[in-house]
Chains A and B, each alone.
Chain A
Amino acid sequence: KQEVTQIPAALSVPEGENLVLNCSFTDSAIYNLQWFRQDPGKGLTSLLLIQSSQREQTSGRLNASLDKSSGRSTLYIAASQPGDSATYLCAVSSGNTPLVFGKGTRLSVIA
């Protein structure tokens, strides 16, 4: 059974810092991995989707990497801003199962 773990559970940084969020999964046989952002009381916003054949994806200040063999992904946020404060969720799709989510990392960027 696929399990997804995100570390750290919470993170607080000053504005302008670069930061890395970590995601690990137990079954490396995945189709893809997605990073989402969730604001309090809101739905999910898809940030980046990495297919199993890809090593990384970039969108603006965000860069996500995937090391399928080791079951790890990282989300790198450059030059963090207070507007980046949210919960970041990692989810993987594998086999015939729908997305399996981690518990998320709550990020606070302090102005």
Chain B
Amino acid sequence: DGGITQSPKYLFRKEGQNVTLSCEQNLNHDAMYWYRQDPGQGLRLIYYSQIVNDFQKGDIAEGYSVSREKKESFPLTVTSAQKNPTAFYLCASARMGVDTEAFFGQGTRLTVV
């Protein structure tokens, strides 16, 4: 079955450590996205990539980095520069066309202590 896999579902890290969240898709989608959710707020765009080896900052990119070396994979690194890293992170991918159809991972809940 095609889909998006995010791992792990829950992640705990100590303050000051970088942490990388995994997102893999086997849908052959060109576009992939990372979003962040904080309590009481809508999901907000961190980074997105429309093609391999290229990506763009979203609304809240500070303190995060990404790479897109393969079409299937779009890992997100939460660096120590991110001041409030504890949040829910959601990965999505999309097939671009007349009806932009997006698929979503289950999400990763990151807690930094």
* Chain A complexes with chain B: no
Q: Which residues of B contact A (CB under 8 A)?
A: none
